[in-house]
Amino acid sequence: MRPTQGTRVEITWPNLSRSDATSPIECAELRSTQQANGTGENRKEASRALPWQKLAWRLMAMACPVAIGLGLGACEESAAPPAATAKADAADAAIDAAPKVPAPPPPIKWYVFDTVSFTRQISPGVVDGFDIDGLQSAEGDPKGCGHADFTSPAGTKGIDNQFALLVPAIEKSGIAAFEKLLQASIESGGVLLMVELQGLDSWSDDPQVKVIVRAGQGLPLLGTDGKLLTGQTFHVNSRDPAALAGTVPVKDGWLEAGPFDMLLPVQVFGKDYTLDMRGTRIRMRVVDGETLEAGVVGGGITLASIRALAKQAAEDQGNIDELVDALTLGMVDLAPDATGDCQQLSAALTFSGVGAYFYPSEVTKTGL
């Protein structure tokens, strides 16, 4: 028997996307009904069912177990998760909520400078740097060769950094690219200034850490920003100053060491130069094993080494030695000699750094 023309046939399907969809019990009853249709009186009744009715019953009986097996949540929305799953979720949540504890520092940690720039006068009389001579010189004071000291951004008096006043003049002169050349020498690996920390037990607070200024060498890998990538290994530079800055505490990640003297290696246009720095101090913030920030290194550069550098550079750059003499001669402000003439120019550089390594077989040669 088939439906006659004009007969309206309605089939109600389980709504598997709603919370009031067919439940497992209803599905079970549906399957029981299907099974019952195969026995006794029900078999007779089923035998009288139309073909389209049989097909509908079969499809509905198949749909319910599939929906339950897929865990759509419609059939068993109120069911609680298994105990093991609940415990695992709680453990994951506890791990995510726990504070991240950084790994302890290694016995020796190195950082390589990835940026270097000159300090500049922030406002009249305010500049970053250090009190190198321990004096607070006023304008006209012979102990400072007539030059007044500065005040740091933090309010510290007696800052010696006359080179900061020269930067605008340098930027207007033919040697304005000198700062860029210093940065280029880092990125090309000509001279890689580095800091070595020995005995660092905590990135934030440590009562005693040995600080050594080093120099590395080797072609570094650069990131997409053009700066050195962290974690690289370098050779010890043949002109490594290996200058012991001091043994100092680390407080809230900050450390400051000095005074110490060092021969600072510089390379410009592939040529090696050396600046003799006296009474040098260094300050930086240790963020973690990968980063140094807010670094400042400063001291008194001897007039003799400035003139030697300028004379050597003049071989390729014409009268640059005369220009350097004109810029620096009246600006020296430290270490007056017996005649009252100062022999050093105070200066400071800012820097940042990233974690690095030396080849172990080379670093042991210094004996520090």
State the pTM of this model. Answer: 0.70
Q: What's the Cα-to-Cα distance from 113 to each of 78, 92, 257, rounded to whole Å?
A: 60, 39, 17
pLDDT of residue 126: 97
Looking at residue 92, what is its pLDDT? 72
Q: What is the reported pLDDT for 212?
A: 97
Whether residue 275 sits in one domain with residue 142: yes
| Averaged pLDDT, 211-231 | 94
Indicate if 206 and 284 belong to the same structural domain: yes
pLDDT (0 to 100) of residue 78 = 45
Q: Is the pLDDT of residue 362 over 80?
A: yes
Structure tokens that stand for 288 in this block: 């973690």
Distance of alpha carbon 221 from alpha carbon 347, whole angstroms: 30
Res 97: pLDDT? 67
Determine, yes or no, domain membership for 5. Answer: no
Residues 298 and 154 reside in one and the same domain: yes
Determine the pLDDT at residue 25. 46
Check whether residue 91 and residue 132 sit in a common domain: no
CA distance 183 to 117: 8
**Does residue 16 lie within any of the structural domains?**
no
Closest CA to 133 of 295, 306, 346: 346
Q: Does 312 reside within a domain? A: yes
Q: Does residue 154 sit in the same domain as residue 127?
A: yes
Residue 194 in tokens: 């580095």
Domain boundary among the residues 77, 97, 117 is at 97
Q: How far apart are CA 368 and CA 356, in angstroms?
A: 18
297 shares its domain with 360? yes
* Residue 90, pLDDT score: 73
* Structure confidence at residue 317 (pLDDT): 64
Highest mean pLDDT among 78-92, 180-194, 211-225: 211-225
* Residue 81, token pair as written in the block: 């998760």
The answer to whether residue 283 sits within a structural domain is yes
Please check whether residues 79 and 151 belong to one and the same domain.
no
With a cut of 90, say whether residue 247 has pLDDT above it: yes
CA 301, chain centre distance (Å): 31
pLDDT of residue 234: 95
Is the domain of 168 the same as that of 226? yes
Q: pLDDT at residue 228 above 50?
A: yes
- Dihedrals φ, ψ of 263, to 5°? -95, 105
Co-location of 351 and 313 in the same domain: yes
Least confident of 44-48, 148-152, 229-233, 354-358: 44-48
Q: Region 47-63: what's the mean pLDDT?
A: 56
Indicate the average pLDDT of the chain: 79
CA 350 distance to own-chain centroid: 17
DSSP per position, 58-110: HHHHHHHHHHHHTT-SSSSTTPPPPHHHHHHHHHHHHHHHSPPPPPPPPSEEE
Residue 49 pLDDT grade (very low, low, confident, very high; cuts 50, 70, 90): low
The pLDDT of residue 20 is: 46
Q: How far apart are CA 101 and CA 171, in angstroms?
A: 45
Window from 56-70, 186-200, 240-254, 337-351 with minimum mean pLDDT: 56-70
Model confidence at 243, in pLDDT bands (50, 70, 90)? very high
pLDDT confidence band for 110 (50 / 70 / 90): very high
Q: Which domain holds residue 69?
A: 24-97
Query: Based on the domain organization, do 176 and 313 belong to the same domain?
Result: yes
Q: Residue 73 half-sphere exposure, CB side, CA atoms within 13 Å?
A: 3
In a domain, residue 6? The reply is no
Here the tokens at position 12 are: 């109600």
For 265, the token pair is 């290696």
Q: CA 236 → CA 66, 141, 361, 362, 365, distances in Å?
A: 69, 43, 10, 6, 9
**For the chain, how many structural domains are there in total?**
2
Is 148 in the same domain as 169?
A: yes
* Boundary of a domain, candidates 97, 130, 153: 97
- Contact residues for 228 (Cβ-Cβ < 8 A; gap 6+): 112, 114, 186, 187, 220, 221, 222, 354, 356
Q: What is the 3-state secondary structure (H, E, C) of 253-308?
A: CEEEEEEEEEEEEEEECCEEEEEEEEEEEEEEEEEECCEEEEEEEEEEEEHHHHHH
Mean pLDDT on 14-38: 47
Q: pLDDT tens, 187-212?
A: 888 789 999 999 999 999 999 999 99
Least confident range from 40-44, 52-56, 266-270: namely: 40-44
pLDDT bucket at 50, cuts 50 / 70 / 90: low
Higher local confidence (pLDDT), 247 or 106: 247
- pLDDT reported for residue 21: 45
> Computed from CA positions of residues 259, 265, 268, 271, in that sequence, does the dihedral angle turn out positive or negative?
positive
254, 351: one domain? yes
Q: What is the mean pLDDT of residues 256-266?
A: 94
Residue 2 domain-assigned?
no
Give strand pairing partners of 334: 344
Kindly state whether residue 9 falls inside one of the protein's structural domains: no
Residue 363 phi, psi dihedral angles, 5° rounding: -70, -25
End-to-end C-alpha distance for the chain, whole angstroms: 103
In-domain check, residue 13: no
